[in-house]
Amino acid sequence: MNAPHPAKVAGIDSTVPSPAHTVAPAAPGASPATAPNATDAAEATAAPGAPCAPGALLQDRLAGWVSDLTTLHELTERLVRTDSLSEGLQEVLRAGAALVGARRGLVVLEPADGLGPHTTVGLGLARADLGHIETVPRSALSYGRILDGLPVGADGIAEPDLLAEKNLDPRHREVAARLGYTASYALPLSTEDTGTTGATGAAGRLGAAVWLYDEPAEPGERQRHLAGRYARYAAQHLARLLEVERTRARMATMAEELLPSRLPRVPGVQLAARHRTGPRGGGDWYDALPLPDAALGLAVGSVTGSGPSAVAAMGRLRASLRAYAVMEGEDPVAVLSDLELLLRLTEPARSATALFGYCEPALRRITLAGAGHSPPLLIGERRTEFVETSVSAPLGMLACWEAPSVEFQAEPGETVLLYTDGLLHRTGAPADRAFARLKSAAAGIPRAERHDPAAVAEHVLRTVLPDGKADADSEEDVVLLAVRFE
């Protein structure tokens, strides 16, 4: 006769690989939660008083440890494949739910250094559900005590039956009843080990994770051990993703500050721009500035390299081009020649591509010169074609740069699209196919969107770079500047 089953605890979800070794079958109708590991299963199914061979018991224990290590290895392998903070948080929730046998949960990211970002991510919880939980006083929540730096046990905070607690906060009781959870288990996410008192070091605290149970339950000792080990490893990976996220935000902010805060309003034309930068920050830029005689200077360009140095070089180059454009903007070749001389003297180890156009809105005419840059695209009802420009070298590549300018005229309602090479490079296709894709995307702009340069730029961006490529992390910056003539 089998021994009575132990008290029910939350079991490991079926998504976690089962042990590779064989254990005695559980009694009919028994939940997998009653045997979270091989050793417990063997002891639970052994006959009372039956002798147990030491070798068999040792082998069974070793098999259980191998199973646990295999589980942790597979879950951490899945975690390290995440390359964004949001994906990492979701994976931590899914893995933790599998380890402790929960169905729902949430992670509250609140770095102790105060530098952010601050966010709450849920598993099986809608945004409204998270909003309800946030109305509960922080001190009444297990993860709130973790975030406030209060002492926490080494194996987390288990609340096996919330509704049975006499001192439960009334608001917490109301929210738990509304959302249908009756138990929880919380763990800190910290890059520092807990001390002897269980308090988590504030400097390394990233946040807290809590999993919710639909029925009274709590994870067993071995489940807590596995979840704790996983959480400690996950915190290290999340810390790296957090630093990447912060770097991306800083680079994006720096780049945006160096680009036009708003485009000018000039009679006769409408302007719109789109800018996408990689996590390290790049050197792609655009500009549009009013010039004397009701003219308009249009520019796009790209500085080699990435990171803060490239962003800073981009800012210096754009500021210099604005000065040259005001002085001699009607001669685009002279503007780029001055820019090339400045780049060669001040930053000899760096090169750049650039395109500058002197636009006369009243005449719908643009005179432009390019230095190693892709040609503009003219988009109209009856034509979609690239503007023929002369072949030229990038700035900083030759001892003396010079190339002839070209002049073209647009029809009313036509849009001139200036862009950087990053738009083509992000496609991953050869140059001829990338250009063909760009032209096809422009030709397919719906008629209702052609009157809006912002809609034109957005359609081209999403069509040339489908399936999220426009917003995905990439070493290539993307800039589009759309100029529609009225």
Q: How would DSSP label each residue in 255-277?
A: HHHHS-SS----TTEEEEEEEE-
b/e sequence 171-205, b meaning 16+ C-beta within 10 Å = ebeebbeebebbbbbbbbbbbbebeeeeebeeebb
Q: Is 102 left (phi over 0), alpha (psi -120 to 50) or beta?
A: beta
Instruction: Give the model's pLDDT for residue 193.
Output: 53
| Mean pLDDT across 257-273 | 92
Binned at pLDDT 50, 70 and 90, residue 54 comes out as low
Instruction: Give the model's pLDDT for residue 25.
Output: 36
Which of the two residues, 16 and 449, has the higher pLDDT score?
449
Rounded to 10 deg, the angle between the 54-80 and 85-100 helix axes is 160
Q: What is the pLDDT of residues 211-228, one digit of tens each?
A: 999 999 999 999 999 999
What's the token pair of residue 478?
A: 């993307």
Which of the two residues, 485 and 199, has the higher pLDDT score?
485
Segment 17-20 long-range contacts (CB within 8 Å, at least 24 positions apart): 17/67, 17/70, 17/71, 17/74, 18/67, 19/63, 19/64, 19/66, 19/67, 20/63, 20/66, 20/67, 20/70
| Mean pLDDT across 7-20 | 42
In this structure, whether the domain defined by 259-485 belongs to CATH 2.30.29.30 is answered with no
Beta-strand (E) ranges in 245-335?
Answer: 269-276, 282-291, 295-306
What's the token pair of residue 343?
A: 């780049």
Answer yes or no: is pLDDT of 172 > 90. yes
Whether the CB-CB separation of 41 and 19 falls below 8 Å is answered with: no
Question: Would you give the DSSP letter of residue 309?
Answer: H
Whether the CB-CB separation of 209 and 186 falls below 8 Å is answered with: yes
Answer yes or no: is pLDDT of 459 > 90. yes
Query: What's the pTM?
Result: 0.65
The number of angstroms, rounded, from the C-alpha of 54 to the middle of its chain's C-alpha atoms is: 52
pLDDT > 90 in the chain, percent: 63
Q: Do domains 64-247 and 259-485 have the same CATH topology?
A: no
Tell me the H-state helices in 349-451.
Answer: 422-425, 431-443
Determine the longest span between alpha carbons in the chain, in angstroms. 103
Q: What is the pLDDT of residues 318-364, one digit of tens each?
A: 999 999 999 999 999 999 999 999 998 888 889 999 999 999 999 99
SS3 406: strand
Instruction: Give the model's pLDDT for residue 308.
Output: 83
Answer yes or no: is pLDDT of 37 > 60. no
Which of the two residues, 397 and 38, has the higher pLDDT score?
397
**Every domain of the chain and the residues it spans:** 64-247, 259-485
Binned at pLDDT 50, 70 and 90, residue 47 comes out as very low
Binned at pLDDT 50, 70 and 90, residue 53 comes out as low
Instruction: Give the model's pLDDT for residue 349.
Output: 87
The fold of 64-247 is: Beta-Lactamase (3.30.450)
Torsion of CA 360, 361, 366, 369, to 10 degrees: 70
